[in-house]
Structure 1
């Protein structure tokens, strides 16, 4: 079990951005990283990605088409990886998973494997059972720490649709969450080995109405 203490995150101390403003703010800051790394913590087990044809195929129950469409992302991911190399930055990601996997998680782990293989992301997996000491009051948030200067708490609707963020720039808060995410990352398992053992052997997921 991972025994850490998550910092307090008070949305009243941040700036609420809707989805277009979040996207613009994120990419404006990302292009100025200049040899500074970033960290992402993903905790939720079901999301709706409205602009992903592969995610839409999953929602229709067409697993083969969902995987085929994911493969089409490789060229674009290589371009993004080259941009990161020019900036001298690495995007580190911690993906928390619960078992049995939701259909979304099974699909996302396939997607993340491409991010690691072609997109240059450094991704590790932490199983939710390791987080009991951190989640006494509530689950860990969805968040991104960008370049050690900006913290985004990513906000979703009840249905799992991305709904912008709350942006924080207090240096101590940013440092504290970056430190916690890095600690989780260091204790996680490399995606490639986890995927080979836990994901690759699985049959296609079976969706319920709530998971479409």
Structure 2
């Protein structure tokens, strides 16, 4: 169960899903949350996004192409946001940002800025803000759907997606969403941060 001071989750209380099973389970549940919110918490400073064309351009050293491909997704993101709005679903994301920025986070923040412009509600928090929640380790990567389903997303050491643990205890989901909501309320809008701290940076060198 949830430790309200750390967001620790007991995997034994959930259902372990392979990556393929997680993706299918998420698709099955995604639009069953009519009139409810979806929350996402990102903590890792590096992910491996093999299916993302912009990320591939970034790791290949073509920064201008990476940015162009981010921008090219704007219409698809707008369509997704309109669909979410039609279902009464608000999309929230809390992104933990460590400074100096990792190359991955510099790339991702440009992507998140466009997502925010297309309707996703995205704010950033920083290590000092989450320190009280990390007394026993770093925060997990979490996604919730409508107060009904919580996924603890798993990754390999190199950031490759590796399935998830699904929880459906409504009290647990509600508690986790409350923590994310609190972080969101204390966070900085992604657009203002990118304008101030990211837009002027030279292209990142992929690790």
Q: Same fold (TM over 0.5)?
A: yes
| Distance change in 2, residues 1:186/1:195 (3 Å) | same
Instruction: Give distance in 1, aligned partners of 2:135 and 2:203.
Output: 33
What's 2:65 paired with?
Answer: 65
Aligned to 2:41: 41
1:63 and 1:9 mapped to 2: Cα distance?
A: 38
Partner in structure 2 of residue 54 of structure 1: 54
Residue 144 of structure 2 contacts residue 150 of structure 2 at CA under 8 Å; is this kept in 1? yes
Match of 1:174 in 2: 173
Report the counterpart of residue 130 of structure 2 in structure 1: 131
- Give the aligned partner of residue 89 of structure 2: 89
Q: Report runs of 4+ in structure 1 exceeding 3 Å deviation.
A: none
2:63 and 2:47 map into 1 onto residues whose CA distance is 17
Query: What is the distance in 2 between the residues matched to 1:15 and 1:50?
Result: 26
The TM-score with structure 1 as length reference comes to: 0.93
- Equivalent residue, structure 2, for 1:191: 190
Deviation at 1:206, TM superposition (A): 2.3
- Count of matched residue pairs: 204
Distance 1:110 1:19, change over 3 A: same
CA root-mean-square deviation:
1.1
Shift of the alpha carbon at 1:129? Answer: 2.5
TM-fit CA distance, 1:6:
2.6
Deviations 1:168-194 (A, max 9, x none): 011221111111010000000111111
Q: CA deviation at 1:159?
A: 1.3
Structure 1 gaps, min length 5: none
Q: Which residue of 2 aligns with 1:142?
A: 141
Give the unaligned 5+ runs of structure 2. Answer: none
Alignment of 1:141-160 (within 5 A): 141-160=140-159
User: Is 2:6–2:136's contact at 8 Å kept on the other side of the alignment?
Assistant: no
TM-score (ref. length: structure 2)? 0.95
Counterpart for residue 103 of structure 2? 103
